[in-house]
Amino acid sequence: MAIDAFAGTSLLFLPEKFFVGRLEGWAVVESLVGGLLKRASIAAHGELDADTDTVVFTETYTFDDGQSDTLRWTIHKSGEGQYTGLQNRLEGEAVGKQAGCAFH
């Protein structure tokens, strides 16, 4: 289903609001052939720079084996419903689109 199919739905999902403040989550990592490899808890925090429509979002994964990993994202609103994102260890830029209650 195309993201545009969600236009006009509510509640609006806006990354510049959702990713600001403290968030918690959980994750599972599965093997390519199926089956659980690891579980993790996620502690995250985002801050909005309203002047540039940019969220700096840091998420720390703590795996059940005691290892941890931190990702730092910069999410920029580039236009109405249009976003770009950078992560410090990935090459290139992620592109996202928001419509109504959905984000892709």
Per-residue H/E/C for 3-60: HHHHCCCCCCCCHHHHCCEEEEEEEEEECCCCCEEEEEEEEEEEEEECCCCEEEEEEE
Residue type, 1: M
Q: Is 10 left (phi over 0), alpha (psi -120 to 50) or beta?
A: beta
- Beta carbons of 29 and 38 less than 8 angstroms apart: yes
pLDDT tens digits, one per residue of 75-95: 999 999 999 999 989 899 999
pLDDT confidence bin for 34, thresholds 50/70/90 = confident
Name the residue with tokens 């940019």: 54
Token pair recorded at residue 81: 């419903």
Q: What is the pLDDT of residue 30?
A: 93
Average pLDDT, the chain: 95
Rounded Cα distance, 70 and 46, in Å: 13
Does position 35 have pLDDT exceeding 80, yes or no?
yes
